[in-house]
Structure formats: structure tokens, C-alpha cells
Amino acid sequence: MEYLHMMIRIRNVDASLAFFRDALGLVETRRFENEAGRFTLIFLAAPDDVEHAKAHRSKELELTYNWDDEAYTGGRNFGHLAYRVANIYESCAKIQALGYTIHRPPRDGYMAFVKSPDGISIELLQKGERLAPAEPWSSMPNIGSW
């Protein structure tokens, strides 16, 4: 397993970049705007981690800006922790066998979400290429939120 990133939702890009970039000294490593999904993702890394972050897309802070105004309550501004795993199907099977719910199954062979006992969302991402769709994951519905 490899630690990838932590995501937090922000309400103001300029104010957030002033804090994380200008005050804390983090460096923007990449940015992704999704017009259809109406969001912007801004990835930042500590100065000593910039080259690693650019090469491996890990050790980053992800700022998620949703274009539609939303008041974040109940910790919704903190999104999730993300880890890369060697085999997403095996990882999810192990987690499920231990009695935990797979809230967003890896139907695409690439991404899944589970929650910690305290309700923290954990994103699991397949290392390398997506795996071919496989049951029981392909037809498994989402459960709750993540």
C-alpha cells in the first residue's frame, strides 16, 4: 500500500491558495478542471516532495473546489485519505471479509471507497492499469455515502 493524498473541500480558491501556498509554502504540482462535473482539483506538495509528487502523484494535498456554492457541515469539507493498492479486488475482499462495508465498490477495476470506524472515507486506487471488470464488484451498488 502507498499513501497518495488527502483531500479537503474549499470554498474560495484564492483564499485557500494564499494560505496553503503563500503562508505554508506548499507548491502547486498539478491542476484539473472538470467542466461537466463542475469542480476543480488543485494538488499541492511540500517543497521537498515536489519532484516525488510530480513523478508519482503521491504525497500531495488535494484541494477540491466545487463550482456550485455549498455550505460544508459535519466535516464534509474534509474529503478522504487515498492509498494505492497492488490489487483492488483482493484489498476490497479482505476488507469486506473483516466485516467492513465497501461503500463504493471497484466496479471500474480502479477505485473503491470504504470508511473507518469513525466515518473517515478512505479511497483505494489500483496500482498501474485498471483491472478488468469482475464480479461481485461489477454489479455491486453503492452503499451510503463516501
Please tell me the distance from the alpha carbon of residue 84 to that of residue 47, in angstroms, as a whole number.
22
Q: Which residues are catalytic?
A: 123
Asked whether the CA dihedral 118, 9, 1, 48 is positive or negative, the reply is negative
**Segment (H or E) for 15:** helix 13-17
Strands of the chain (E only): list them: 2-10, 27-34, 39-45, 60-66, 78-85, 102-104, 111-115, 121-126
The three cell numbers of residue 57 are 502523484
